[in-house]
Amino acid sequence: MKTPLSKKTKFIFITGGVLSSLGKGLAAASIGSLLESRGMTVTFQKLDPYINVDPGTMNPFQHGEVYVTNDGAETDLDMGHYERYTDALMGQVNNYTSGRIYYSVIMKERRGEYLGGTVQVIPHITDEIKAAVLQLDGMADVAIIEIGGTVGDIEGLPFIEAIRQLRADLTKDYSLFIHLTLVPYIKTAGEVKTKPTQHSVKELLASGIQPDILMCRTEAPLQDDMKKKIALFCNVEPESVISAIDVENIYEVPLSLRKEGVDDRILEKLGIWTGAPNMKPWEDLVYKIKHPKHEVTIGITGKYVDLTESYKSLHEALVHGGIDNNTKVNLEYISADDLEDGCDLNSLVGCDGILVPGGFGSRGMEGKIRAIRYARENNVPFLGICLGMQLAVVEFARNIAGIPKAHSVEFDLTTPDPLIYLMTEWFDFRTGKMETRDENSDMGGTLRLGAYPCVLVEETNAMLAYGVPEISERHRHRYEFNNAYRERLEKAGMLVSGTSPDGSLVEIVELKDHPWFLGCQFHPEFQSKPMRPHPLFSAFIKAALEQKKA
């Protein structure tokens, strides 16, 4: 298949070698930020080799967080890096898995679209991958495509073959291969070793791809003689061997890569001419991160605390809120299991603010409720997100509103007081249609996903934070606030400060007699950027700072 091209978009393909977790996502995002600093528009795509159709039903311990886009796509966490580092907006077209690709091909075969032919990996699967990539043609000046996994993985071979074919379709003027690899320092030998990189490039060459640029993950900058050695064995120019050194903070990566001139090499090879980059915003950002005036400690009470990647966007959003307040934010991840009945709450004592994030399942639920009660009773600033908001409603109902058996049907289907329940019908303001769901719907089909509008109430913490009467925020949840209890809770002192435009969906709740206590049904962390911190996180950190000073 050779798809007609607009010849407007140039494509950069990023592969990884040696081992996983080298930072392809951050490298891709940082390259995007460098190109934007030179006046170009960028978009991204992540191609994941796993068979799951999307990460929506995957355990966070295995995959990390599920990042949700405005259009309701449940995607890889690298989408978050792309949006935080650039102005690009991600959606359904920006993340494909093997499962999604194979599912599409199988459905076409069932419909007879292949006219009875034998359906094979080549050309049918690779054509489907190519078609997915080429959807981005014309959307931006440059499209940056990250191939998940490591070169040599059997499940990733169709993607490698597809981008090999794309080089022929696109030509060298419109395509570029960047390979991220590892140059380890062997402490006992006292030297860096290039052999892993040589073998990684050899594996890539065996698949028919010659990298144009090598980004070498190292602990310290590579000396010129080492770059020449790598260039010689890997068939690239020495100037195209880039040191991707370890940095103190992830927001230093664009500055580090700029220092190495990676954007100059990319533009040279793609035949693009631009002005000099404007790196001052990144320089100012890093300076503020390294020179905070204040310091607070935020306790995050969840059940995935052993893998902080499960809360990646949340972690970064809290850092962004700190940046906006010239404050270093120390994050204490506290297992909700350690706060269950019978356990002490000493881990919460030193926290200037407490946050209960989203999640699914009953494990640690009572521990989260105890953390919420502690924040309420001790006037500790509190932010509850998604499940955190729902449990804050349950805790308030049980201990303040006189509804001792209040619960969520997620955890107790027979509760006599379902404060949080499965709303079977609601109006979708994006489609203009009524949506329905029930217990028999597919696991992902029962979720309210993507961006929904929310109208704020005047003179509330939510309104003070946002400064506008209507907002749009991204959701990923199954259960809703039960309006049958709304009047009773409001009489007891809970304030509903944000709802859907028709008032049917409760989106934000607050407590009247508390320094700062707010729960939101949506996930504000998905729209926070280092240079544009989300208003709720800025307000939360400000409240924690003021409470600490009090």
> 9 by DSSP, 3-state: which?
coil
Q: Which residues have a Cβ under 8 Å from the Cβ of 481 and sit 6 or more positions away?
A: 390, 393, 419, 420, 505, 506, 509, 521
Residue 274 · residue 309 · CB < 8 Å: no
The residue length of the chain stands at: 550
Q: Which two tokens stand for residue 272?
A: 């693009």
Task: Using CB atoms within 10 Å of the CB of residue 331, give its burial: 0 to 12 exposed, 13 to 18 middle, 19+ buried.
Answer: middle
Q: Please report the DSSP string for 321-378 in residue order.
A: HHHHTTEEEEEEEEEGGGGSTTS--HHHHT-SEEEE----SSTTHHHHHHHHHHHHHT
Task: Kindly name the residue from 234, 386, 454, 520 that is annotated as catalytic.
Answer: 386
Q: Which two tokens stand for residue 65?
A: 């967080």
Q: How many CB atoms lie within 10 A of CB 475?
A: 22
In a 13 Å sphere around the CA of 425, the CA atoms on its Cβ side amount to 2
Q: Catalytic: 525?
A: yes
Task: Kindly name the residue from 36, 83, 525, 534 that is annotated as catalytic.
Answer: 525
Q: How many CB atoms lie within 10 A of CB 93?
A: 16
> 493 by DSSP, 3-state: which?
coil
Please give the distance of CA 43 from its chain centroid, rounded to a whole number.
15
Cα distance between residue 388 and residue 385, in whole Å: 5
Cα distance between residue 492 and residue 487, in whole Å: 9
Task: Kindly name the residue from 81, 475, 523, 534 that is annotated as catalytic.
Answer: 523
Give 272-312 as a 3 state SS string: CCCCCCCCHHHHHHHHHHHCCCEEEEEEEEECCCCCHHHHH
Q: Catalytic: 386?
A: yes
| Amino acid occupying residue 158 | P
> 54 by DSSP, 3-state: which?
coil
Residue with tokens 């199954």: 478
Cα distance between residue 448 and residue 358, in whole Å: 14
Question: In Å, what is the CA distance from 44 to each residue of 92, 135, 250, 335?
Answer: 11, 11, 19, 35
Residue 244 · residue 26 · CB < 8 Å: no
Cα distance between residue 468 and residue 161, in whole Å: 49
Q: Which residues have a Cβ under 8 Å from the Cβ of 462 and sit 6 or more positions away?
A: 456, 497, 498, 508, 510, 518, 520, 536
> 332 by DSSP, 3-state: which?
strand
* Residues designated as active site: 386, 523, 525
